[in-house]
């Protein structure tokens, strides 16, 4: 993985990279450490597909509605989003700070017969690809980076004019502390203890402020809420804990 040639700054947190690398073998186990992401995936994909279809004039329910769109998934992990995005027709690049994550993602894509460009890189390593992508995905990653503003600037720089960014993260509220940190890690044991640092949760206003200098404006915020009776997630208006954001580059 290359250092940032321009600033020498890395957005990767060594502790976070080590934590997720240690769990890498479990990426494709729907009952393992990444079970919450497997449960979130249908909701995230619906949000991404529907917003991209509207933005680029596609039929969200048509065959391969994202055909021809260039997408980069930053912090792609084992490829849980890259693979379905590819099946929807997108040309997908996945990058991650964890070398083991990328190895797992490549192997699974090969076994699935999918052509995905996986790289062990950070967004700041890709200054030579500025303005290349129609879509940048930052899903469950901004709460793990070392420098949020540097990360958002590097990510936004990869967008074409009129490109879009989709983000999902956790709001820094007391409700999120209770549910997404204490509840999810210590009580329900959905996640390994230490997965999240509440102090690094990100308010929507902080996302908006970090993206605005790069010409990206947030046009939609939606919550993701858990229904314990049905053991499933759904899109909601409640952004106090998990939320999705859609940004458009002018």
Please give the pLDDT value at position 7. Answer: 41
Name the domain count of the chain: 1
Average pLDDT for runs of 10 along the chain of length 250: 48 79 84 90 97 97 97 97 98 96 95 97 95 97 95 98 97 91 74 82 97 98 90 94 96
Please give the pLDDT value at position 3. Answer: 40
**DSSP H or E stretch at residue 211:** helix 204-211
Per the domain annotation, does 8 fall within a domain? no
Per the domain annotation, does 215 fall within a domain? yes
Per the domain annotation, does 6 fall within a domain? no
Residue 221 lies in domain: 14-249
Please give the pLDDT value at position 4. Answer: 44
Per the domain annotation, does 60 fall within a domain? yes
Per the domain annotation, does 5 fall within a domain? no
Per the domain annotation, does 133 fall within a domain? yes
Please give the pLDDT value at position 2. Answer: 42
What is d(CA 29, CA 98) in angstroms, rounded to the nearest whole number? 18
CATH number reported for the structural domain that contains residue 146 in this entry: 3.40.50.150
Please give the pLDDT value at position 16. Answer: 78
What is d(CA 134, CA 15) in angstroms, rounded to the nearest whole number? 31
Per the domain annotation, does 1 fall within a domain? no
Per the domain annotation, does 7 fall within a domain? no
User: In whole angstroms, how far apart are CA 117 and each of 13, 70, 102, 197?
Assistant: 23, 11, 10, 30
CA atoms within 13 A on the CB side of 36: 17
């Amino acid at each position: 993985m290359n250092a940032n040639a321009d600033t020498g700054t890395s957005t990767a947190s060594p502790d976070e990279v080590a934590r997720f690398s240690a769990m890498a073998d479990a990426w494709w186990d729907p009952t393992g450490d990444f079970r919450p992401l497997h449960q979130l995936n249908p909701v995230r994909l619906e949000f991404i597909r529907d917003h991209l279809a509207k933005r680029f004039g596609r039929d969200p329910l048509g065959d391969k509605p994202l055909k021809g769109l260039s997408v980069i998934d930053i912090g792609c992990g084992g490829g849980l989003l890259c693979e379905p995005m590819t099946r929807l027709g997108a040309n997908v690049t996945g990058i991650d700070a964890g070398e083991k994550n990328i190895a797992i993602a490549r192997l699974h894509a090969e076994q699935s017969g999918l052509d995905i460009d996986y790289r062990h890189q950070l967004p700041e390593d890709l200054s030579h690809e500025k303005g290349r992508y129609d879509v940048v995905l930052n899903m469950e990653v901004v709460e793990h980076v070392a420098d949020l503003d540097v990360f958002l600037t590097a990510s936004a720089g990869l967008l074409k004019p009129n490109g879009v960014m989709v983000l999902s993260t956790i709001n820094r509220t007391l409700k999120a502390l209770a549910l997404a940190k204490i509840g999810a890690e210590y009580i329900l044991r959905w996640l390994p203890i230490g997965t999240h640092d509440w102090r690094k949760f990100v308010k929507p206003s902080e996302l908006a402020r970090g993206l605005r200098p790069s010409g990206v404006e947030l046009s939609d915020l939606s919550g993701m809420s858990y229904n314990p009776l049905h053991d499933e997630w759904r899109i909601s208006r409640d952004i106090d804990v998990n939320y999705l954001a859609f940004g458009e580059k002018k």
